[in-house]
Amino acid sequence: MTKITVVIPCFNEEDALMIYYWEMEKVMEEMKEAEFELLFVDDGSADHSLAIMKKLHEKDKRCRYLSFSRNFGKEAAIYAGLKNAKGDYVAVMDVDLQDPPALLPKMYRILQEEDFDNVATKRADRAGEPRIRSFLSESFYKFINKISGTEIVDGARDYRLMRRKMVDAVLEMSEYNRFSKGIFEWVGFRTKWLEFDHVDRSAGKTKWSVGKLFRYSLEGITGFSVAPLSLAAVIGVLFCMLSFIMILVIIMRTAIWGDPVAGWPSLVCIIFLVSGIQLFCTGIVGQYLSKTYLETKHRPIFILRESSEEGEQ
Ligand code: UDP
Ligand code: MG
């Protein structure tokens, strides 16, 4: 019998966990042809999420859990889940029902009947999201797709069902700075996209702040494009050409009209502008350097505190 593992990252989700399980029970009932494994990843929750996972494991052996020593972020939770998944097919799904479990049978059927390696999902539109957030997200996707060779699909969710081959490929990418939307695209394979309408959170609240989203978008840019690095070189060349023209103009002006002492304000403006641009470019280099620095340390992506396999330690 084919086995499907569902990886479910959870961070302070005590309110959503049971609702999710009840919903998945229906789906598992519907998909009798497959064996299920629900792999909950407790990403260092401070509430009762882990206790609920343990209870679920007691009650239903299809439920397993991994628990981190602290909060490592959703990307780390996805990686840990994929690494510990035993299924021939692996799905990644949010616990808050914003990734509708009811879509899973359809996704599975597509992989059975058609020649695809994974079925991915994206939001049909950005309804139910603050205007400013939509605007920032859309600008981000436009920007990153201009400068990156890897296509990052606008509105793509992490919710997808993959064949084992693809899961193994994703696991090969053991980088520390993880950006799943890019990684799933980078490994290639044949993807079928499904669209669905936005669903509100079942319970609890979102774990994303504007700051967190901003850092996440930087992760995407530095992880999947090196174009910003060449920006410094391009600006440098432009400024060299500009200064060459300015030197010529000043020499000619002095030769024709003499040399009255003037131009102090413009000089100050130029110094400010140029040093600003220089610092900006150094900052870009710094971003890449810091990512490289973390990468060379080879720190583990996650650390387990306990799991359903070992029991309590
Ligand atoms: N999540 C996680 N670690 C984090 C933040 C979030 O494992 O540091 C999980 C969270 O429990 C949820 C999923 O990632 O299952 C998506 O998070 P959320 O619903 O807050 O994001 P949104 O849907 O608002 O983008
Ligand atoms: Mg959500």
Which residues are bridge partners to 307 per DSSP?
66, 311
pLDDT at 312: 46
Rounded distance, CA 142 to CA 250, Å?
41
CA 12 – ligand 1 centroid, Å: 9
Residue 21 φ/ψ, nearest 5 degrees: -60, -45
Ligand 1 centroid–CA 90 distance in Å is 18
Determine the Cα–Cα distance for residues 39 and 85; give it in Å rounded to an integer: 7
Q: Same domain for 246 and 270? A: yes
State how many domains the chain has: 2
Instruction: Please check whether residues 53 and 105 belong to one and the same domain.
Output: yes
Backbone angles phi, psi at 124, to 5 degrees: -70, -40
- Would 62 be classed as within a structural domain? yes
Say if residue 155 is in the same domain as residue 236: no
Q: List Cβ<8 Å contacts ≥24 apart for 58-62.
A: 62/28, 62/35, 62/36, 62/37, 62/38
The answer to whether residue 211 sits within a structural domain is: no
Q: How far apart are CA 313 and CA 253, in angstroms?
A: 81
Q: Which helix (H) or strand (E) holds 160?
A: strand 156-163
Residue 313: its pLDDT value, please? 42
| CA atoms of 219 and 182, how far apart (whole Å) | 10
Atom of ligand 1 minimally distant from the CA of 8: 15
In a domain, residue 213? The reply is no
What 3-state class would DSSP assign to 232? helix
Q: Which atom of ligand 1 lies nearest, measured to the CA of 73?
A: 8
| CB-based burial label for 246 (10 Å; 0-12, 13-18, 19+) | exposed
CA distance 30 to 75: 30
**Residue numbers of the domain that contains 168:** 2-205+301-312
- Do 305 and 279 lie in one domain? The reply is no
Looking at the fold, whether 246 and 150 belong to one and the same domain comes out as no
Ligand 1 shell residues, CB under 6 Å = 9-11, 13, 43, 71, 73-74, 77, 94-96, 98, 206-208
Residue keyed to tokens 């504007």: 210
Same domain as 50, residue 113: yes
Instruction: Detail the DSSP E strand segments found in 142-295.
Output: 156-163, 191-196
Q: What is the pLDDT of residues 53-104, one digit of tens each?
A: 999 999 998 999 999 999 998 999 999 999 999 999 999 999 998 899 999 9
3 neighbors 34 (Cβ within 8 angstroms): yes
Ligand nearest the Cα atom of residue 80: 1
pLDDT tens digit sequence for 198-225: 888 888 788 777 888 888 888 888 888 8
Exposed / middle / buried, residue 167 (Cβ in 10 Å: 0-12, 13-18, 19+):
buried
261 C-alpha vs ligand 1 centroid, how far in Å? 62
Parts of the chain with a pLDDT under 70: 260-261, 311-313
Instruction: Let me know if residue 218 belongs to a domain.
Output: no
Neighbours of ion ligand 2 (CB under 5 A): 94, 96, 98
CB 291 within 8 A of CB 225: no
From the CA of 12, give the closest atom in ligand 1: 11
* Angstrom distance (rounded) from CA 233 to CA 228: 10
Closest CA to 97 of 12, 28, 198, 181: 198
Residues 27 and 166 in one domain: yes
